[in-house]
Amino acid sequence: MSELSVNHLLGIKYLNKKDISLIFETADHFKEVINRSIKKVPTLRDITIANIFFENSTRTKLSFELAEKRLSADVVNFSAGQSSVKKGETLIDTVNNILSMKVDMVVMRHPNPGAGIFLSKHVKAAIVNAGDGAHEHPTQALLDSFSIREKLGDVGGKNVVIVGDILHSRVALSNIFALKLQGANVKVCGPKTLIPKHIESLGVTVETDLRKALQWCDVANMLRVQNERMDISYFPSTREYTQQFGVNKQLLNSLDKEIVIMHPGPINRGVEITSDVADSDQSIILHQVENGVAVRMAVLYLLASKIK
């Protein structure tokens, strides 16, 4: 049986192309499972998984929990807001207390970049990074690539533009790593203040004209502006941002080809993307959500098979 080259999923940066192919092939099987009338398989029946979220989450938390339950794992949910973290408990103490209850895997979202890496060095459990600050969000990038593969047949050679707040986005960084690993051409587009310096060193090109970027691409992945991570103003107003970097149906219809529209969610309708675009035939946003469960099932299954 093929297995992953890693014992934890901490970031796309640590995966190779074979790992991604293996995850996708496994996710293909699980996608078929979740579309059956009986959606459960007993694969992880003796595995206990703790979902530890130090930041708010709707889609990712639900998606992981559903993936775990579809695999028949025992699930423990932990929310930092109602925990001893508020009393000053450290991250390692919190997780070690949970592990002493005999938990096999930890799915963690944390506001600090590198939290998952730090944890993987100090605790005996498989760690899945569900987002660490503005660093990485590996399962989101995997489900995005899986959705492109499903829609267009292959990721290699495709032109993908990531539009919006690149500076604060963990989704953008993980997507760049994943897309480049699979041989896609990647552009980033947004206000210059929201594009990190030296991003070209990751093998991507920068475009500040949205229309040119859309004309070039096969797929546009629209990111929201992450106001909660901003301590200063990066552009004059939301209205001005929307005028320059928002995608509407009129703009899409004026292109001389049909492109695929993606969004990791949550969507700020009327800011980076209008409702008629989000709900159009060109959008695969809800397919991304469905694929998220299958991809996360694949990741959990493959990591669980490496637990000794």
112 dihedral zone (left: phi>0; alpha: psi -120 to 50; beta): beta
Asked if residue 8 belongs to a known ligand binding site, the reply is no
CA–CA dist 292, 12 (Å, integer): 16
Q: Is 58 annotated as a binding residue?
A: no
Q: Is 239 among the annotated ligand-binding positions?
A: no
- CB-CB contact of 249 with 280 (8 Å): yes
- Residue 113 assigned ligand-binding role: no
Question: What is the C-alpha separation between 134 and 116, in angstroms, rounded?
Answer: 13
The reply, when asked if residue 269 is annotated as ligand binding, is: no
C-alpha–C-alpha distance, residues 234 and 116, integer Å: 29
- Residue 170 annotated as part of some ligand binding site: yes
Q: Is 137 annotated as a binding residue?
A: yes
Q: Is 224 annotated as a binding residue?
A: yes
Q: Is 265 labeled as ligand-binding?
A: yes
Binding region for carbamoyl phosphate: 59-60, 109, 137, 140, 265-266
Write out the binding residues.
59-60, 87, 109, 137, 140, 170, 224, 265-266
Annotated binding site for L-aspartate: 87, 170, 224
